[in-house]
Amino acid sequence: MPNKVVIVTDSTAYLEPGEAQKLGIHIAPLNIKMGEQNFLDGVDIDSEELFRRINMGAPLPTSSPPEATTFERIYTQIHKQTDKILSIHTSSHLSKTVQKAKIGSEGLMGRCTIEVVDSLTTSVGLGILARAAAKAAQAGMSLDDIVRLVRGMLPHIYLVFYVEQMDYLERGGRIGQAQAILGAMLNIKPILFMEDGDIIPLEKVRTTDKAIEKLYEFVVEFDNLEETAIIQCSKAPTREARILQNRLKQSFPDIEFPIIQYGPDLSIHVGPTALGVVVYEGLTF
């Protein structure tokens, strides 16, 4: 059996259209539930559709990981062509996807080597890891070396963002009810940071302009920007995203700052009004 490594990730990973197929990446979709209706993340619902339904009176959504049987089915299919699989998934602090992937791998124990890695990130950050792993696999790197590569990248991926409304953070247990009420009364916008896979409050500001300034200041601290993106809920760039993009382009004229829509799972954690920046700080040797 060929020893080429095959990469699996989940639907929270941001990849360009067609990129997963081109790189041979298999994607397990998370489940999005709104009342009695179930959707597959990235298959039959995106963030805009999610909030369109909420605005029309649909119940507030919840997300759940792919079932272990879904992973076992994916791994079994891949096992027809290889016995080396690397499965990289959204942060275990945001979802039980890693846990389900590990359970799903048990059915192939002894027949197929499956490494499950907690990315400690999501969205664009997870996409960066999945893409790097898939390119390394295409180049013929061993499973151990690809795992080492991915684990080495983890501490160099950063996500910082702010939200205009706090009710989604409250529902997810990121802040207390009193904080959410006070924040709304005082028009406070929390700046949040992803640290060790969890979303934590970094500081608070009073205006949108100040929040944009904080995101800008965060990015310009880096000396070696390998890859970056601005993330927001809608497909069409918002005014705030454009302001941030223009400021960053002035400081980094040679670097692209694409504006990307974050997916339904992250939407459930941060709501429809978050604006953030993902930074991958290139490795220096």
HSE (CB half, 13 Å, CA atoms) of 98?
18
d(CA 23, CA 131): 8
User: 6-154 with 156-281: one CATH topology?
Assistant: no
Q: At 246, is the pLDDT very low, low, confident or very high (cuts 50, 70, 90)?
A: very high
Range 61-77 average pLDDT: 94
Identify the burial level of 284 via C-beta atoms within 10 angstroms of its C-beta, where 0-12 means exposed, 13-18 middle and 19 or more buried: exposed
pLDDT-wise least confident of 50-59, 87-96, 131-140: 50-59
Scan for tokens 């048990």, then name that residue. Answer: 106
Distance of alpha carbon 82 from alpha carbon 151, whole angstroms:
22
Task: Residue 243: name the closest of 151, 232, 197, 104 by CA.
Answer: 232
From 73-82, 129-138, 172-181, the region with the lowest mean pLDDT: 172-181
| 271 vs 145, residue with greater confidence | 145
- What pTM was estimated for this model as a whole? 0.91
180 or 51, greater pLDDT = 51
The fold of the 156-281 domain, in CATH, is Hypothetical Protein Tm841; Chain: A;domain 3 (3.30.1180)
Residue identified by tokens 């997916």 is 263
Contacts of 156 (CB under 8 A, 6+ apart): 226, 280, 281, 282, 283
Domain assignments of the chain as residue spans, ordered by start: 6-154, 156-281
Q: Extract the tokens encoding 171.
A: 């529902």
Strand, helix or coil at 239? helix
H helices of 106-238, in order, are 123-138, 143-153, 167-171, 177-186, 208-220
Contact 163, 192 (CB under 8 A): yes
Q: Are strands 259-261 and 225-232 parallel, antiparallel or unpaired?
A: parallel
Rounded CA separation 192/186 (Å): 18
| Region 6-154: CATH code | 3.40.50.10170
Q: 185: pLDDT confidence band, cut at 50, 70 and 90?
A: very low
* Mean of pLDDT over the chain: 88
Q: Is the pLDDT of residue 178 over 60?
A: no
Give the model confidence (pLDDT) of 122-173 as tens digits: 999 999 999 999 999 999 999 999 999 999 999 999 999 888 765 555 454 4
